[in-house]
Amino acid sequence: PKTDIVFLKVHKSASSTVMNILFRFGETHNLTFAFPRGGGFQLYYPHHFLARFVHGFSPESPRRFNILCHHMRFLQPEVQKVVPSSAVYFSILRNPVQLMESSFVYYKGTSAFSRVRSLEEFLSQPYRYYNPTSGDRHYARNLITFDFGFNPDGDVSPGRVQLMLKAIEASFDFVLISEYFDESMVLLKELLCWDLDSVVSFPLNTRDSSTRSTLSASAVEKLKEWNRLDWEIYRHFNRTFWERIERAIGRERMRQEVAALRARQAELARTCLQGTGSVAPKDIKDASLRPLQYGGARILGYNLKQGLDQELERTCRRLVTPELQYSSLLYKKQFPPPPP
């Protein structure tokens, strides 16, 4: 199994669920994580990543970590200073239309969105609300492009788009697609030589449907145009994703693997969870399993069954522990506080 990993956590793209998979794998195999200095949750995002943002890194005695997966704005030369040269690089993308609809609800307080009632109102005259010089502009335009380290307000000429795609392909071994999450996990398992249980998951950091809005066809087109760089990245990697599946696995075996993954997840859900799945934040009984509520979204969570045996309780709890709590737990394990 591959144990040296860089995961670029692109916002609002099922990346919290992928992070849970990496946290569990790292914890099980006693791997080290490149944590933000001081134990925060982002690597000084939205600044470009620098090695010195990582807790325990020093230029005099560079220390390598197995897994780098916290939010960062990608900058490969700096990333290479904190992970082994053998590290596998991957990321996950989401359709920019749904991504921006989600971003609008989640980051409603940002400068570009705070003065509009709806995403459609923003799209009707975006430059009235969007300021390319504001520090939080990236949440409102080409967020994927920004997370990969490029300029979200950059030129959209075919030549520049090609350069950007080539740069991403040169840095990343593969890119997953969140709309095909189960297929993505099978591909991840295959390319990292992991077993099935390493890639099972329950969806984390998802919001309830009451805050989701359906966009008109004209808004969708405006959105694609406004996020043209993101759209080009997504289209390209959506295509190469299926080409990779044909090459690495084949459609028939992929169908079988996805069925096995879903069956195992259903079995774990029956074993671990009260009820049929996720619940509203107010209904989560164990406060330590309550996800951070942010922006205008209501982030769902889970209740575990009572009376599970110790080993099973631990497995189930890890599957549903929200990102911030899990990160804190692993940070304290890796950097134990000095005894009083």
Q: Per-residue pLDDT tens for 297-334?
A: 788 999 999 999 999 999 999 999 999 999 999 999 99
Mean pLDDT of 232-239: 98
236-246-145 Cα angle (round to 5): 20
The answer to whether 280 and 300 are in contact (CB under 8 A) is: yes
Q: 116-136 pLDDT, tens per residue?
A: 999 999 999 999 999 999 999
Predicted pLDDT of residue 13: 93
Enter the pTM of the model.
Answer: 0.95
User: Alpha carbon of 30 to those of 22, 23, 26, 155, 201: distances in Å?
Assistant: 12, 10, 6, 44, 20
* Residues paired with 279 in a beta bridge: 301
Question: What value does the mean pLDDT take over residues 132-153?
Answer: 97
User: In Å, how far from its chain's centre is CA 273?
Assistant: 23
CA–CA distance, 9 with 139 (Å, rounded to integer): 14
- Provide, rounded to the nearest whole percent, the portion of the chain with pLDDT above 90: 87
Q: Cα-flanking dihedrals φ and ψ of residue 254, to 5°?
A: -60, -45
Tokens read off for 267: 């079995």
CA nearest to 175, candidates 87, 237, 254: 237
pLDDT digits over 31-84, tens only?
999 999 988 899 999 999 999 999 999 999 888 999 999 999 999 999 999 999
- CA 141 – CA 24 distance, rounded (Å): 32
Handedness of CA 208, 213, 217, 222 (dihedral sign): negative
Please, which pLDDT band fits residue 181 given cuts at 50, 70 and 90?
A: very high
Q: Which two tokens stand for residue 27?
A: 């914890």
**Is the per-residue pLDDT at 295 higher than 80?**
no
Token reading at 170 = 């040169």
> CATH 3.40.50: does it fit domain 5-332?
yes
Beta bridge partners, 91, equal 8, 175
pLDDT score at 292: 86
DSSP 42: B
**How much is the pLDDT for 151?**
97
Instruction: Please report the beta strands in the chain, taking only residues with DSSP state E, as ranges in sequence order.
Output: 5-8, 67-68, 88-93, 174-177
- Provide the 3-class DSSP secondary structure of residue 198: helix
* Tokens standing for residue 292: 């951070």
36 preceded by a cis bond (ω within 30 of 0): no
Q: First and final CA of the chain: distance in angstroms? A: 39
